[in-house]
């Protein structure tokens, strides 16, 4: 079993292994802490904008910033709200073919949470895919 943190990013319900989340804070707190000393060059992603591949005007001050540390990268994800932490099986079936290609690459697994399907984000894939796409969708700053 693995522990997954579920969060909302716009219309997306997304899960991420808790082992990659090293901290959370409100967007207001994040902006206050990093106003003077910057964010040390780490990428900051607005996950809703990135997954939808469209610019979203401004983030809500009630948004949550997840501090993500993978085997190769350290970055921040801005999400709307944390939903829950749950235990899930270690193996999953692949996504059905109806899911958009980007979602199927970034979120190769699905889980059922209450009455909703949640995509499980593979945080090790986010930065390489972002680099391949050469897009600014979702990127708040680097």
- pLDDT reported for residue 39: 62
DSSP-derived letter for residue 135 is -
- pLDDT reported for residue 93: 65
- Mean pLDDT in the chain? 84
Residue 142 CA to residue 110 CA, distance in Å, equals 29
Domain range for 66: 2-141
- pLDDT reported for residue 22: 96
Select the more confidently predicted residue: 24 or 137: 24
pTM listed for this prediction? 0.71
- The DSSP-derived string for 97-131 is TTS-HHHHHH--EEEEETTEEEEEE-HHHHHHHHH
The pLDDT tens digits for 73-130 are 899 999 999 999 999 888 766 655 655 778 888 888 888 788 777 888 999 988 888 8
Domains contained in the chain, number: 1
| HSE toward the beta carbon, residue 64, CA cutoff 13 A | 17
- pLDDT reported for residue 98: 56
The helix or strand, by DSSP H or E, that contains position 24, with its residue range, turns out to be: strand 21-26
The pLDDT tens digits for 25-82 are 999 898 888 776 666 678 888 888 888 888 877 667 789 999 999 988 899 999 999 9
């Amino acid at each position: 079993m693995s522990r997954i943190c579920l969060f909302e990013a716009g219309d997306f319900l997304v899960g991420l292994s808790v082992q990659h989340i090293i901290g959370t804070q409100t967007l207001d707190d994040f902006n206050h802490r990093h106003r003077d000393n910057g964010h040390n060059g780490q990428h900051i992603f607005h996950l809703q904008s990135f997954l939808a591949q469209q610019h979203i005007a401004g983030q809500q001050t009630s948004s949550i910033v997840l501090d993500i540390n993978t085997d190769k990268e350290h970055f921040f994800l801005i999400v709307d709200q944390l939903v829950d932490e749950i235990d899930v099986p270690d193996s999953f079936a692949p996504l059905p073919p109806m899911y958009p290609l980007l979602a199927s690459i970034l979120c190769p697994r699905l889980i059922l949470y209450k009455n909703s399907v949640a995509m499980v984000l593979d945080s090790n894939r986010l930065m390489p895919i972002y680099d391949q796409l050469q897009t600014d969708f979702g990127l708040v700053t680097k």
